[in-house]
Amino acid sequence: MKRKEDRTDWPRLLAASCSLLAASMAQAQTAEQPAAEPALGTVVVTATRSETPLLEVPASASVVEQADLQQRNVARFGDAVVEVPGLYVRGAALGQAFPGSGQAVLSLRGIPRTPRTLVMIDGLPINNALSGGVNVSGIALENLERVEILRGPHSALWGGNAMGGVINFISASPDQPLAEVKAGLGSNGLRAGSGVFRKRFEGGLGVSLSFAYRETDGYDDSDYVVKRALPGTGAIPVTGAIPTSTVDGQPGWWVGLKGARPWTQSNVSTRFDWKLGAATRMNAGVSWGEYRVGYSRPSSFLLDPSGAPVFSGSVGLADAATPLRMTLAETDFLTPTPSGERDLRVFAGIEHRFEGGSILKVNLGRLEHRFGFSQASRGAGYESGPGTFTDQPNDRTDLDVSWRDRLGASTILTAGFSLNHSTLDRSTQSLAYWRDEDSAVAETGRSTGESDSAALFAQTETFVGEKGRLMLGARYDRFRTSGSIVDASGSETYPTNTFSRLSPKAAFAWQASDQLTLRTSLGAGFRPPALLDLYSRFQVPSPIAGQFITYDASPFLKPERVVSLDAGADLALPGGFRGSFTVFAQQLRDLIYRRSVDPFTVQADNTGEARVDGIEASFRAPTGLRGLRLIGSWTHNFRYEVTRNDAEPDMVGKNLTDVPRTMWSLGAEYAGGPWTGLLVYRHVGHVFGSGDDLNEDTVEGVYGAYDRHGVASAKIGYRFSPQFSASLSIDNLFDRDYFVFAKQPGRTVFAEVAWKF
C-alpha cells in the first residue's frame, strides 16, 4: 500500500506558508540597497567554486544570463539553452511535447542520458537517488539569475554524475527586487500561471518566493497503436487499418490511438537569505515540484461488419491485398498511467569571508523524490481489470564544505569534502483495478537500497605570468552500498559493496589578448551505479509461451568512467561579439550493459567501452541594427560509437543511443524600446533511441522513430507600461510533422500577460 507520508499535501502547506509570509512582509519597511560589488562581467562559479570571469575559465563553458532569460521570457528549460552547444534535450524540457512528464532526456557532449550529467541548483545536486534522473518540473525557472553549463568531465570538483558535464541553476538574489505575476493560454488547452517575489528587508533578511503551474489537455495524435500482421484469416473481418512501417523497416499496420494524456506541472519555492554583517551570509529554504500525467479513452480504427470498433481478438484485415491476420488485446491500446513524480527539496547554506580573503562555504540539502506509475496486466481493459502499481520513493542528503584561500601571491587553493546518504524503497503492488492505486490487494515485490559516500577534493589555480592560469585538481570518492530484495522467488540480502574513484584534472588558459583566451584541459569523470541499477529485479514475458525472463539485481557494479581531452578558444570583442570553439576526444570505460546469464536471466555488468570525439561552437554577434543580434551554435560528433561490449559483441562499431551526430541552431534576438523578439531555427540529427543499441531503427516518419528534424520557433513581446507586458510564442512555426518516438505537436501558440507591482 502507498505509505502515509507520501500523502502529505505539500502544495497546500507551502502555499499557506507563502501567503502568511507575504502578508507579514507587506508591513515591513524596505532597507537601503547595499553597494554593488565590483563588476566582473559574465562570471562562472561552477568551474572553480568561486566567481571567475568567463573569459579566464580554463573550461568549455556557457552562461545563460538573467538578461537572456528575461528577454526570452523563459518558461521551459529548452528555451533557456537555445544557443548552448553540445547539449541535447528532449521531452519535458521542451514543454508541450508528449508525454509531458518531468523527466527530460539530457545528453551533454555526446555522453548519453541524464544520469551522466550532473544537474544542480545553487551547487546542490538534484539528480535523484533512484536512477540519477532529473525532474525538470522542480526547477523554479521564474527565479533564476543565470544558468551555467560546463562541458566535459568535472568530477575533480563535483564528483559523481559529472561525466558529460555540469548544469548549475543559480537562483536570483533578493538584492534584485521583483514582484511579478504571469498568466497565459495556449494550444491543446494549455493553461499556465506563475509568480515571483524578491525583496531585501531591514535587518538584512531577504526573501524569494516563486510558484508556477502548467496544465494541458494533451493531444490525441501522439501515441499510436502499431501492430504486425501474419498471413492468414482472422475470426473477425475488420476494415480501417492503415499501412505503415515499423522503425526497423518491417511492414506494419496503424490500428488506433492510445488517447490524449492530459498533464500538469507545478512548483513552489521559498528561499530566505540573511546578511549577518559584511562577512557572513546564510540561506535556507524549501521547494516542491510535481507533475501528474492522466489518461483518456483510446480509439480503434478497426471496424467490424456492423461498424463497431474492435479492440481485441483475432482479426482479419479485409483491406489488405492478401489475407492477413493479427491478434489484438485491449492492453495494446492502454498507457502506463496515471503516473506522477514529485520532488521536495530542503536546503540551507552559509558563506563566511575571513579577513585576508579566505572564504568558507557550507551547503546542506535533502531531496525527497517520489515516482510512481500504474500498468495494466494481461486481460485488463480500459474500464476494469487487474494491474500493478510501482512506487519508488527515494531520498538523498548532501553536505558540501569548501574552503578557498590564497597560497602566496600567485596561487589560490580550493579544498573541501562532501558527504552523501541515499536510500531507495521500491515496491510493486497488485491492483484490483489497474487505474486505482488505492485498490492494492497484495505486495508482489520490494527492493531496498542504501548508499553512503564520502569525498575529499582539492584544486589549485596558479597565475602563470600575467596571461596564464593553470588549474590542477583531484577528488577522491569512496562509496558503500547495501540492499535487499523480497519477491515471489524469495528473499535475498546482498553483502556490502564498496568502490572508489580518483578523479584528477589539469587545465590551462592563456589570454592571448584582452579579447581572446586559448585553453586546454585533461580530466576524468565518473558515474556511480544508481540504486536502481544495483538493487532492482523484474520480469518480462519470454518468447517461449508460459516462461518469463528475469532482469536480476546487479549488486557489484563499478562506476562508469570517462577520460577527456579538449582544446579551444573563447573570443569577446568590444563591440559585443562573443564566440567559443572547442574540439574534444573522450574515452568511456566500464559502461553498464545487460548480459544474458542464461536463457531466462539477464543481469547488468560493466562490459562496455566507447569513444566520443567532436567539435562544438557558438557565437553571439551584434548587427548594424540597434538591439538586434544573431545567435547560433553547432555541435558535431565525428565519432560516438561503442568500441567494446563483452555482453553484446554486435554492438561494437554502433553509435551510442540518445545522441545526435549533428545539432545546430541559428536565430536572431531583438530588444529595443518596448519590443522584444526571438526567432530561432533548431536542427537535430537522427537519434537512435534508448534500447536501440544495435542501431536497427533507421526508418523515419513513423511511430517510434527519432527523426532528424528542423523546427522554427518565434516569440514576440511588448511592454505597454513599466508594470504591464504581453508576449506571444509560436512553436513549430511551419507546422512540420515529425516524430520523437511519439508524434510531436504541430504548430502551437501560447499567449501570456505579465504584471509587475
Residue 311 belongs to a domain: no
Cβ proximity of 212 and 264 under 8 Å: no
- Output the nine-digit C-alpha cell for 715: 516569440
pLDDT at site 97 = 46
Cβ proximity of 271 and 285 under 8 Å: yes
pLDDT at site 25 = 33
| pLDDT tens track for 354-378 | 988 899 999 999 999 999 989 898 8
For residues 663-681, average pLDDT = 93
* 23 C-beta neighbours (distance < 10 Å), count: 9
Residue 422 belongs to a domain: yes
* 596 C-beta neighbours (distance < 10 Å), count: 12
How far is the C-alpha of 176 from the C-alpha of 590, rounded, in Å?
46
Q: Give the 3-state DSSP-derived string for 282-337, with helices as H, strands as E and coil as C.
A: EEEEEEEEEEEECCCCCEECCECCCCCECCCEEEEECCCCCCEEEEECHHHHCCCC
Cβ proximity of 548 and 524 under 8 Å: no
| pLDDT tens track for 551-565 | 889 999 999 999 999
- Output the nine-digit C-alpha cell for 353: 569571508
| pLDDT tens track for 563-618 | 999 999 999 998 889 999 999 999 999 999 988 888 888 899 999 999 999 999 99
Burial class (CB in 10 A: 0-12, 13-18, 19+), 320: middle
Residue with cell 511592454: 719
Residue 310 belongs to a domain: no
pLDDT at site 428 = 93
Residue 328 belongs to a domain: no
Q: Is the pLDDT of residue 161 over 60?
A: yes
pLDDT at site 690 = 86
For residue 97, the domain's CATH number is 2.40.170.20
Backbone region of residue 639 per phi and psi (left: phi > 0; alpha: psi in -120 to 50; beta: other values): beta
Quickly count helices (H) and strands (E) in the chain. Answer: 5, 44
E strand segments, 408-546: 411-431, 440-464, 468-487, 490-511, 516-527, 538-541
The sign of the torsion formed by the CA atoms of 228, 229, 235, 238 equals positive
Q: Which residue has the higher pLDDT, 163 or 40?
A: 163
Residue 21 belongs to a domain: yes
Element housing 175 (H / E): none
pLDDT at site 2 = 38
In order of 215, 605, 640, the CA distances from 688 in angstroms are 30, 22, 12
- Output the nine-digit C-alpha cell for 293: 500525467
Residue with cell 539485481: 553
Q: Is the pLDDT of residue 125 over 80?
A: yes
Determine which of 84-98, 218-232, 419-433, 483-497 has the lowest per-residue pLDDT on average: 84-98
In order of 11, 178, 206, 507, the CA distances from 25 in angstroms are 21, 14, 10, 47
Q: What's the distance, Cα to Cα, between the start and end of the chain in Å?
A: 47
20 φ, ψ (degrees, to nearest 5): -65, -40
Alpha carbon 392 to chain centroid distance?
18
pLDDT at site 103 = 56
The structural domain count of the chain equals 1
Element housing 245 (H / E): strand 242-245
Residue 202 belongs to a domain: yes
Residue 304 belongs to a domain: no
- 326 beta partners: 315
For residues 656-678, average pLDDT = 94
Element housing 677 (H / E): strand 675-684
pLDDT at site 173 = 93
Residue 235 belongs to a domain: no
Range of the domain at 587: 4-223+258-298+334-756
How far is the C-alpha of 612 from the C-alpha of 630, rounded, in Å?
29
